[in-house]
Structure 1
Amino acid sequence: MPSLAGAALLCTSSVFADSPRDAESTPGATFPLALPEVEASYRVVVNGIPVGLNATIRLTRDSEHYQLHFKAQNRLFRHEETALFDWSNCVAKPHHYQHESVGFGIQRGGEIDFDWDTQTAKGSKAVYPLARNALDALSVAMVSRCHMAKADQSFSFDVAEPDGMTKYQYRALDNETIKTPAGEWLASGLERDYEERGRKSRFWAAPSLEYFMIRMDHQENPFVRGRIELTEFRYLSDEDSRNPERQAGSTVSSR
């Protein structure tokens, strides 16, 4: 069922993708050096109808790397992506990326190993030279957050995919208030440009959540429009959870 597959793939051009701490902050502050560990849940709506597809974004860190994990699923369909990367002062260095979609007659997937010693991407569909500062389809969202915090009006990334390099291009949207099931947020927005006519993605991120994504709208074609919107957000570390600056206007539950 293409509409469900399209909805599940909303975050692959993510944006997801730190800064001001309160809901009234104005975008543009300096992004923190370290990414906080968080988990965010979303509901998926296709053509204005909730489809029973729930999505989760989880960002964690071990002693060596960050891991960003996106999963969207219901009883009949599952889409999953994982990225492993290093992070230093708004620079992401990916090490591995993989994705898989299963259900409704769909079974597709791919992965990439980033060999920075030889500047080579070892993709499941091709082996090719890596562009300098190349990202993957998930870590690109983290770096986008930095550009939003600086209020950059346009920017682009070289992104490695299982079959080769491509370019993601973004432009800023006007700030606005966005309503989600998790509440109302002052948000900064981005739009991703595609070569295909009629295809469009728009993202909104809340400065009070350190520019984490609260909503994404994706138009695959004139007939299929999908949206994911925040239902719950929480910090995973005890230190962040106890920090009143992080909690102010930030951690909410679905309602």
Structure 2
Amino acid sequence: MRNVSFRHRLFGLLLTLPAAVAASTDWEATYSVRQGTIEGGQAVQRYTAADGRYRLTLDVTPGGVVALFTQETFHDESSGLVDDGDLRPQRYVHVRAGGRKQRDYEYRFDWQAGQVAEVDGDRPPAVLQPGTLDELTYVEALRRALADGKTGLTLPVLYGSDGEIRDYRLQTLGEEEISTPAGRFRTIKVQRTQAGGKYTVTLWCAPALDYFPVRIDRHKRGRSQGTLLLSSFEAASGRAP
């Protein structure tokens, strides 16, 4: 049972992985996931944009010790409009494969009607607040805030597993220099909390990469759920850390 719990902690962390979006540049980033010194898997994010629309995906595969106990994979996808650099989601999807339980869901954002509703599901529609994002896009607003010198903000975010709009509170905790497989970075440390939530997420955002998160930690009631570290980053311009 301990191994199953370990697997769920690691993949719970991966599902909270926020994606940093450069609205004018396509990019691909790879993260490794670790529990202490133990390797747990890999997450690959891809962002593309054209003709005023974006597509952002996250694909997770098990690795290291975790791969001995599961071959479950995850695919998350957000798509919608790009408006003056801001992302406006229209569709959000989460799919699991290779596991015992399927907890797939798909949401459509109806901005004209002012609600976000699950497709082929029984969760009731949620009322859209201005600027509502999803779990793959909220970091773009954080990056912009950091670039503008802000030290905190609150964002409405669709929490896909229950279909609710939750306020994500993001607060800077100062600067810190950290090492990752992709290199050493000076970062702005940011903590994410939410009302009624059990989890705290800490992000280290690197100014040298336009405040892209190079490390992400997740804790549940003070206990570590794992760490994500940037392994590689490649933009359409060819820039890499």
Equivalent pairs, count: 226
Render the CA deviation track for 1:111-169: whole Å, top value 9, x for unaligned: 21011121121124222321122111111122111112123111111112342221111
The CA distance in 1 between the partners of 2:211 and 2:116, in whole Å, is 29
Q: Which residue of 1 aligns with 2:103?
A: 108
CA drift of 1:46 comes to 1.6
Tell me, yes or no, if structure 1 residue 36 matches structure 2 residue 36: no
Work out the CA distance in 2 between the residues paired with 1:68 and 1:84.
6
| 1:1-255 correspondence to structure 2 within 5 Å | 1-10=4-13, 12-17=15-20, 34-51=23-40, 53-74=41-62, 76-103=71-98, 105-123=100-118, 124=121, 125-162=123-160, 163-195=163-195, 199-235=199-235, 237=236, 240-241=237-238, 247=239, 251-252=240-241
Is the Cα contact below 8 Å between 1:15 and 1:142 reproduced in 2? Answer: no
- Asked if structure 2 preserves the Cα contact closer than 8 Å seen for 1:175 and 1:186, the reply is yes
Separation in structure 1 between the aligned mates of residue 6 and residue 37 of structure 2, nearest angstrom: 12
CA separation of 1:151/1:13 partners in 2, compared to 1, >3 Å: closer, same or farther? farther
Cα distance in structure 2, aligned partners of 1:198 and 1:65: 34
Which ranges in structure 1 are unaligned for 5 or more consecutive residues?
A: 19-31, 242-246
In structure 1, distance between residues paired with 2:226 and 2:156: 25
Note the alpha carbon deviations across 1:69-105, whole angstroms, 9 max, x for none. 1111125121221111322345321111111234553
| Contact 1:13/1:141, CA 8 A, preserved across alignment | no
How far apart in 1 are the matches of 2:93 and 2:195? Answer: 24
Q: Is the 8 A contact 1:112 1:161 kept in 2?
A: no
CA distance in structure 2 between the partners assigned to 1:6 and 1:194 by the alignment: 19
Instruction: Give the superposed CA RMSD.
Output: 2.3
Query: Following the alignment from structure 2 to structure 1, what is the Cα–Cα distance between the partners of residues 187 and 87?
Result: 23
Which one is further off, 190-199 or 167-176?
Answer: 190-199
Tell me, in whole angstroms, the C-alpha distance in 2 between the residues paired with 1:227 and 1:63.
35
Q: What stretches of structure 2 of length at least 5 have no aligned partner?
A: none
Larger RCO: Structure 1 or Structure 2 (Cα < 8 Å, ≥ 6 residues apart)? 1
* TM-score for both structures, normalised by structure 1: 0.79
CA distance in 1, matches of 2:198, 2:164: 24
Cα distance change of structure 1 residues 62 and 47 upon mapping to structure 2, 3 Å threshold: same
State TM-score, norm by structure 2. Answer: 0.83
Contact between 2:54 and 2:80, CA under 8 Å: does it hold in 1?
yes
Which moved further from structure 2: 154-163 or 175-184?
A: 154-163
Q: Cα 1:183–1:97, aligned 2, differ >3 Å: closer, same or farther? A: same
Q: Partners of 1:7 and 1:90 in 2: how far apart?
A: 32
Secondary structure in 2 aligned to 1:68? strand
Cα deviation, residue 213, structure 1: 1.5
Give per-residue Cα distances to partners, 1:12-55, cap 9 Å, x unaligned: 4444438xxxxxxxxxxxxx8x432110111110244112x111
Percent of aligned positions that are identical: 22
Return closer, same or farther for 1:9/1:100 CA change in 2, 3 Å cut-off.
farther
